[in-house]
Amino acid sequence: MRYVIGCDVGSQTMKVVLWSEEGQILGTDTAPYPIDYPQPAWAEQDTSHWWQAMTAVIPHLYQRLGVSPGDIVAIGIDGTVDGFVPVAESGETLSPHFMWMDRRAVEECNAIAAQIDPKRLFQTTGLNLDASHTAAKMLWLKNHRPEIYERSWKFMCSATYAVYLLTGECVVDYSNASSTMVFDVHTRQWSPELLDLMGISADLLPEVRRATDVVGTLRPEAAEALGLSVDTQVVVGCGDEHASCVGAGVIEPGVVADIIGTAEPVCVPAHGPAFDDSQLVETHCHAHPDRWLLENPGFVSGGNYRWFRDNFYPTPKGAEPTSYEVLNQEAAVVPPGSEGLLFLPSMMGAMAPEWNSKARGVFYGLTLAHTRGHMVRAMLEGSVFALRSIVESMQRAGIETKAIRAVAGGAQSTLLRQIRADVTGIPVASLSTAETTVVGAALLAAVGAGVYSDLQEAADRTTRVVEVNEPHAANRAVYDQAYANFLQVYESLKDCYEECTLPVQESGS
């Protein structure tokens, strides 16, 4: 029996899965690690956490399941997109990883806008000119930490760096490359024009290859640390939402992947590059080599929920944090629409209903009659109003959205799935596994190692729909009005975001 390992370098957790060639998910394991927020709108991570987590959970998983390491033929990696870490030629990381939610590079975006029409940039790269994207962060490093920039050998996203630790090779797939803002989404190559315009050397960027290509085998040091054979193959890997689409079987147009994690990417496949004129939805490459994705790369969703739990559900010292199910139960007794309370999920800037780095989170409509449960439900509904704005943009771009597949941690809640169905008017399915991101990474490895011929075959053998939440007509009218109010509150605050947002202060790392 052949096995593969999928490894998800997530925002707050390393997840690994052991998968068999029969399409069975034998087990999973996780290890948490922190995000650092040195200043408002900054988000960083120490990359040493990733290797510590990987070397802890991978051996623990296959040993716990009684699988011989010699039978593990390949490893697939996915990781968070829109971030990078500068790496010296010696392999030393020169700074923390700039995370996807980091929005410090607003001035760099202004400088780019002075050189190229953002609409032209969008038509070339499929991306908005936004501080979340990697090239803007690279320019921030160049402008504010020139000594680090000059010492850099390669800029690596999280999946690229993980593969580099395993193999010593520096590669990136189409999906991760298409999140950088210097990649031509039509030709699927680095854009010489944009690199020249931004003053970024192509030598700093990895080689671009297909997500299922085998990079090589484990370095002896990596094999020893993981307890695996030096013959274990490693594939290029992809971005986390792209892996999630693979694991959810969202490869053909018509089905939307709603990935309810720390962030909430929303994706729908296309056979070619298609563009949303409103630019709420970007055009990326899929992990599948012959597909593209219309996607919103992910407004902060579960991250808001975790913040609320950690700050408003006190935990005694030494005790486990409050279960999210406790929050869900409090929200479930509150009627749809939260009795007029609204939440704008913009605590790290907005990605929906539009892109706005200066937007901030808001509770609107609070009264003395509202409880903590109302605030919890309003947070859940605010994320789904953002989802609805994204789905409607996909529809305006001419892409069919006949079903939604909810995946990742939030998909396990019936309440969360039902709110999504009621707000969007689209059936929402749960799958045999909610953790499709790490499963998708495993399926990349399975195809790369020749266990299956392509990603569709691998997904069909692994994942199935187990339940569908149909929209409740009685709730739709309530949510239509609440959604209209949500949009109106956001629009009304746009001037305030411009005038009241605190500037980023230059200090620290």
- Answer whether residue 289 is part of any domain: yes
Share of the chain above pLDDT 90, in %: 89
Mean pLDDT calculated for residue range 120-137: 96
Q: Residue 350 and residue 348: Cα distance in Å, rounded?
A: 7
Q: Residue 448 and residue 289: Cα distance in Å, rounded?
A: 12
Number of neighbours of residue 251 by Cβ within 10 angstroms: 20
In this structure, what token pair is assigned to residue 262? 């720390």
Q: What is the pLDDT of residue 501?
A: 65
Gap between the terminal Cα atoms of the chain: 48
pLDDT digits (tens, 9 = 90+) for 412-445: 899 999 999 999 999 999 999 888 999 999 999 9
Q: What is the pLDDT of residue 251?
A: 94
Q: pLDDT category, 349, cuts 50, 70, 90? A: confident
From 223-232, 479-488, 490-499, the region with the lowest mean pLDDT: 490-499
Residue 41 has pLDDT above 60, yes or no: yes
- Answer whether residue 46 is part of any domain: no
Q: Residue 109 and residue 504: Cα distance in Å, rounded?
A: 14
- Answer whether residue 150 is part of any domain: no
* No. of helices (H) and no. of strands (E), the chain: 17, 24
pLDDT digits (tens, 9 = 90+) for 273-304: 999 999 999 999 999 999 999 999 888 899 99
Rounded to the nearest integer, the mean pLDDT of the chain is 94
Torsion of the alpha carbons at 233, 239, 241 and 244, rounded to the nearest 10: 0
- Answer whether residue 99 is part of any domain: no
Q: What is the pLDDT of residue 36?
A: 95
Q: Residue 298 and residue 342: Cα distance in Å, rounded?
A: 20
Contact 6, 58 (CB under 8 A): no
Mean pLDDT calculated for residue range 309-325: 91
Contact 223, 229 (CB under 8 A): yes
- Answer whether residue 237 is part of any domain: no
E-strand ranges in 154-303 read: 154-156, 171-173, 183-184, 189-190, 207-209, 214-217, 233-235, 238-239, 254-259, 263-270, 282-285, 292-300
Mean pLDDT calculated for residue range 19-32: 95
Q: What is the pLDDT of residue 173?
A: 98
Q: pLDDT category, 500, cuts 50, 70, 90? A: confident
Mean pLDDT calculated for residue range 50-76: 97
Structural domain harbouring 349: 249-435+453-500
- Answer whether residue 71 is part of any domain: no
- pLDDT: is 453 or 507 the higher one? 453
- Answer whether residue 468 is part of any domain: yes
User: The domain spanning residue 283 has which CATH number?
Assistant: 3.30.420.40
Residue 71 has pLDDT above 90, yes or no: yes
Contact 261, 459 (CB under 8 A): no
Q: pLDDT category, 309, cuts 50, 70, 90? A: very high
Q: pLDDT category, 357, cuts 50, 70, 90? A: confident
Q: pLDDT category, 507, cuts 50, 70, 90? A: very low
Mean pLDDT calculated for residue range 254-271: 92
- Answer whether residue 79 is part of any domain: no
For residue 89, the 8-state DSSP code is T
Look at the chain and count its residues.
509
Contact 289, 175 (CB under 8 A): no
- pLDDT: is 508 or 151 the higher one? 151
Torsion of the alpha carbons at 386, 391, 395 and 399, rounded to the nearest 10: 140
Backbone torsions φ then ψ of 430, nearest 5 degrees:
-105, 155
Among the listed residues 300, 333, 295, 350, the one whose alpha carbon sits nearest the alpha carbon of residue 490: 350
From 8-12, 174-178, 368-372, the region with the lowest mean pLDDT: 8-12
Question: Cis peptide leading into 353, omega within 30 of 0?
Answer: yes
Q: How many domains is the chain partitioned into structurally?
A: 1
Q: What is the pLDDT of residue 409?
A: 85
Indicate the pairing of strand 97-98 with strand 72-79.
unpaired
Q: What is the pLDDT of residue 424?
A: 97
Q: Which residues, 6+ apart, have CB-to-CB distance to 47 below 8 Å?
A: 85, 93, 96, 97, 161
Q: Residue 276 and residue 270: Cα distance in Å, rounded?
A: 12
Q: Residue 55 and residue 53: Cα distance in Å, rounded?
A: 6
Q: pLDDT category, 503, cuts 50, 70, 90? A: low
